[in-house]
Amino acid sequence: MEITARRIGDAVRGATVESAAAPGMNVLKTYDPPLGELAGRTVTGVRRRGKHLIVDFDGLSLLLHLMSAGRLQLYDKRAGPRDRTSRILVRLADGRELRLREFGTKQRAWAKLLPTDEVEQDEAIATLGPEAWPDPPPAALLSGAARPLHSLLRDQHVLAGVGRSWADEILHAAELSPFKRGSDLTPAEADTLAETIPAVLGDALEHYERTVSLPIPDKLPMPLTVHRHEGEDCPRCGTALERVWFEDYVIAYCPACQTDGRVLKDRRLSRLLK
């Protein structure tokens, strides 16, 4: 999200909006002010909060959550009538078009048009925890909860901006089990984890700075070493990375570096057997 905000923000800052439309049913969760209010305004920037993108138009802001299948992209030309993926179109006076697109059949991405000074009070933003990057979160935030670290890191109310992929990478880098409870962390482990979170995300961002340019690819070249690498060698110790399945996702980890050699039970199966 951060690299998308930077790249698109740099490209559209200062552009004037000609018109805006929401062809996607139900994507826009607000009706006042109407999307038409964007016409004639200047794009002042694109920023990120947690996993949300915010496009600012002097005085109004589009708050976007792309969910898993949405993308914010900038095109040199306007969408044709056959375009079925665009949920929001912001046409710029210079001929370019900013599109919120969503792939697949589930329409889960959403947008809200809000006065800019109300964005921080919006429920989606006001309930976010502190940003996971660039500053380390307070260690007490992590050690204060009796929950498995993997679920804790992904909880946007605890910490904003970490998803499943990066939770795997962060816990591997910190050499901590995904199932260790926050409250079982030693003070030193909690400090290490707090420092590791922005370090891993900062490295990823540096990678994106080097590799991503407009147009933003549909699939970002994520510099992952653990997530989706199960069966391959741990980059630190060479042990084969393991995975544990949940209902709809997979956690990857190194048994040697993270779980004292223990291979974790498949949670999906054990739940089925209960």
Check residue 237 for interaction with Zn ion (CB under 5 A): yes
Total of residues contacting Zn ion (CB under 5 A): 7
Q: Which of residues 98-137 bind Zn ion (CB under 5 A)?
A: none
| Cβ nearer to Zn ion, comparing 173 with 234 | 234
Q: Which of residues 56-85 bind Zn ion (CB under 5 A)?
A: none
**Least distance in Å: CB of 12 to Zn ion?**
43
| Choice from 60, 62, 171, 234 touching Zn ion (CB under 5 A) | 234
Q: How far apart are the first and last CA of the chain?
A: 39
Check residue 256 for interaction with Zn ion (CB under 5 A): yes
Q: Is 247 in contact with 268 (CB distance < 8 Å)?
A: yes
Q: What distance in Å separates the CA atoms of residue 211 and residue 206, rounded to the nearest whole number?
A: 9
Q: Which residue is nearest to Zn ion (CB)?
A: 234
Check residue 147 for interaction with Zn ion (CB under 5 A): no
* HEC per residue, 84-111: CCEEEEEEECCCCEEEEEECCCCCCCEE
Q: Which two tokens stand for residue 271?
A: 């739940």
Q: What distance in Å separates the CA atoms of residue 46 and residue 4, rounded to the nearest whole number?
A: 9
Scanning 66-74, 123-131, 184-192, 246-254 for contacts with Zn ion by CB under 5 A, the matching segment is 246-254
Q: Which residues pair with 244 in a beta bridge?
A: 251
Check residue 230 for interaction with Zn ion (CB under 5 A): no
Binding site for Zn ion (CB under 5 A): 234, 236-237, 239, 254, 256-257
